[in-house]
A and B are shown apart, each in its own frame.
Chain A
Amino acid sequence: MSERVLAQGFSALGRIPGVAFVLVALFAIFASMSPGFSTAPNLSNILVQSAILLLLALPMTFIIMTEGLDLSIGAVLTLASVVLASVAVSTGSLPLAFVAALAIGLAFGLLNGWIIAWLDIPPFVATLGTLGIAQGLCLVLTDGQSIVGMPPALHYIYSGYLLGIPFPLVIAAVAYVAMHGILYHTRLGTYVPALGGNREALRHAGVNDRLVLAVIYGIGGLMAGVAGLLLTSRMSAAHPTAAIGMEFDAIAAVAVGGTQFERGEGWLFGTLLGVITIGVLRNGLNLLEMPSSVQVVCVGLLVIVALFLDGMRKVQE
Chain B
Amino acid sequence: MPPGNVHSIARMTNLATIAPVESDGGPAAPLLELRGISKTFPGVRALDNVSFPIWAGEIHMLCGENGAGKSSLMKVLCGAYVADEGELFNHGEKIEIKSTLDARKFGIAVIFQEFSLVPYLSVAQNIYLGREFQGKIPGTIDRQKIRSEARRVLAMIGSDIDIDAQVHSLGVAQQQIVEIAKALSQNARILVMDEPTSALSDTETEHLFGMMRRLKANGVAIVYISHRMAEVFLLGDRITILRDGKMVATVLPHETSPGDLVQKMVGRKVDAIHRRGANMKAGEVALDVRGLSAPSGIADINLQVRAGEIVGLCGLVGSGRTEVARAIFGADRITGGDVTFFGKKFTGGPDKATQMGVALIPESRKAQGLALIRSVGDNIVLAALDKLFPSRVFHPSKARHTAETMIKKLRISTPSPRRTVQVLSGGNQQKVVIGKWLTADARLFIFDEPTRGIDVGAKAEIFALMYDLVENGAAVLMISSELSEIVNVCDRAYVMREGRVAGELPRDRLTEENILQLGMHHE
Direct contact of A and B (CB under 8 A): yes
- Residues of A at the B interface (CB closer than 8 Å) are 1, 3-4, 7, 11, 181, 185-187, 190, 193-194, 196-198, 200-207, 263-266
- Contacts A187-B132, A190-B121, A190-B125 known; A204 to B140 CB distance under 8 Å? no
- Contacts A201-B118, A202-B130, A204-B78 known; A190 to B141 CB distance under 8 Å? yes
- Contacts A186-B139, A187-B132 known; A193 to B100 CB distance under 8 Å? no
A-B interface pairs (CB < 8 A), number: 82
List chain B residues, Cβ under 8 A from A196.
120
List chain A residues, Cβ under 8 A from B130.
202, 205-207
* CB<8 Å pairs between A and B, sample of 7: A1-B143, A4-B143, A190-B141, A193-B119, A198-B119, A205-B129, A265-B119
Identify which of B112, B118, B164 contacts A197 (C-beta below 8 A). B118
Least distance between B326 CB and chain A CB atoms (Å): 17
Closest Cβ neighbor of A1 among chain B residues: B144
Roughly how many angstroms separate A71 CA and B377 CA in the complex, as a whole number? 38
- Contacts A185-B135, A205-B100, A205-B129 known; A264 to B120 CB distance under 8 Å? yes
List chain A residues, Cβ under 8 A from B104.
206
List chain A residues, Cβ under 8 A from B132.
187, 190
- Residues of B at the A interface (CB closer than 8 Å) are 78, 80, 99-101, 104, 110, 112, 114-121, 125-126, 129-132, 135, 139-141, 143-144, 147, 164, 166, 168
Identify which of B126, B135, B147 contacts A4 (C-beta below 8 A). B147
A193 and B147 within 8 A (CB): no
**Top 7 A-B residue pairs of the complex, sorted by shortest distance between their CB atoms:** A205-B130, A201-B116, A206-B100, A197-B118, A193-B120, A194-B118, A197-B119
Roughly how many angstroms separate A93 CA and B92 CA in the complex, as a whole number? 65
- Contacts A4-B164, A204-B110, A206-B100 known; A185 to B141 CB distance under 8 Å? yes
A193 and B116 within 8 A (CB): no
- Contacts A1-B144, A187-B141, A205-B131 known; A198 to B117 CB distance under 8 Å? yes
Roughly how many angstroms separate A203 CA and B112 CA in the complex, as a whole number? 13
Least distance between A258 CB and chain B CB atoms (Å): 13
List chain B residues, Cβ under 8 A from A193.
118-121
List chain B residues, Cβ under 8 A from A205.
100, 116, 129-131
List chain B residues, Cβ under 8 A from A264.
118-120
A194 and B121 within 8 A (CB): yes
B100 and A263 within 8 A (CB): no
Least distance between B186 CB and chain A CB atoms (Å): 10
List chain B residues, Cβ under 8 A from A7.
164
Closest Cβ neighbor of A4 among chain B residues: B164
Identify which of B78, B118, B139 contacts A198 (C-beta below 8 A). B118
- Besides the contacts A187-B141, A194-B121, A196-B120, what 8 more A-B pairs have beta carbons closer than 8 Å? A3-B164, A7-B164, A185-B135, A194-B129, A204-B80, A204-B112, A205-B130, A265-B119
Roughly how many angstroms separate A190 CA and B140 CA in the complex, as a whole number? 11
Roughly how many angstroms separate A266 CA and B119 CA in the complex, as a whole number? 11
Least distance between B185 CB and chain A CB atoms (Å): 11
Least distance between B367 CB and chain A CB atoms (Å): 13
A201 and B120 within 8 A (CB): no
A204 and B119 within 8 A (CB): no
Least distance between B290 CB and chain A CB atoms (Å): 27
Roughly how many angstroms separate A204 CA and B110 CA in the complex, as a whole number? 9
Closest Cβ neighbor of A11 among chain B residues: B166
A266 and B120 within 8 A (CB): yes
Roughly how many angstroms separate A32 CA and B431 CA in the complex, as a whole number? 66
Identify which of A4, A181, A186, A190 contacts B129 (C-beta below 8 A). A190
Most chain B CB within 10 A, of A1, A4, A204, is at: A204
List chain A residues, Cβ under 8 A from B164.
3-4, 7
Roughly how many angstroms separate A198 CA and B179 CA in the complex, as a whole number? 13
List chain A residues, Cβ under 8 A from B125.
190
Roughly how many angstroms separate A262 CA and B398 CA in the complex, as a whole number? 38
